[in-house]
Structure 1
């Protein structure tokens, strides 16, 4: 932004122009998007599935990508059947590699000493907050299970 303001403001201007163009293009198509909501699920689902398969195959033109798509779809169906919420899993897939990279970086800086996470004030506070959040989530489950066990 400081060294190349022309590039920065050009990028901002292009995003602004792009958003204006999207509004101009999509305003007349609102009726079409509303009509799309009326398509029955039994028709819409296979169409979405085919588009996903085409997208996965077109990345590398590999059948392995289609098999991976099928495996993840099957895992998603199983997890949904058992009542797992998809949002935490998605966050885990997105944030997991980032957390792993930063853990590796912290361990390299501390020469493999894991006590750096509790000896530094900021990381110790963050670790305590994480532990408190885990307890807040897990303790009600244990209490419910104990109450059910005591009633039987």
Structure 2
């Protein structure tokens, strides 16, 4: 409980740009398909990171070096995202919405409608995740 409190109370992000887009999109998966929060994050995060590579490449590469022990290379960020997905798979956590039970024939548009209804029209630390970008993230997460 203490570590969850520390992770969520905002203290560790004080003074730093924060991106809660994965959570905001993931919450819609929970609302529509009862996907638990951890799984919703695992479904959205890899696609979101790939989508936002322009803005997040440095941090993704830092994770690759510091967490996965990768050496620097031109494809370090992509290898890091692949490693994140492999880690989730090793834990038997779904990384695609299509792996979740239920009809997803209208999934992307259903989530987009929920994002619009909740006012999540621009997400991310620099507001670069527009509704169209969210749609692409979701399509890539199917």
TM-score bracket relative to the smaller structure:
under 0.3
Structure ranking higher on relative contact order (CA contacts 8 Å, 6+ apart): 2
TM-score (norm 1): 0.22
Question: Which protein is richer in helix relative to its size?
Answer: 1
TM-score (norm 2): 0.23
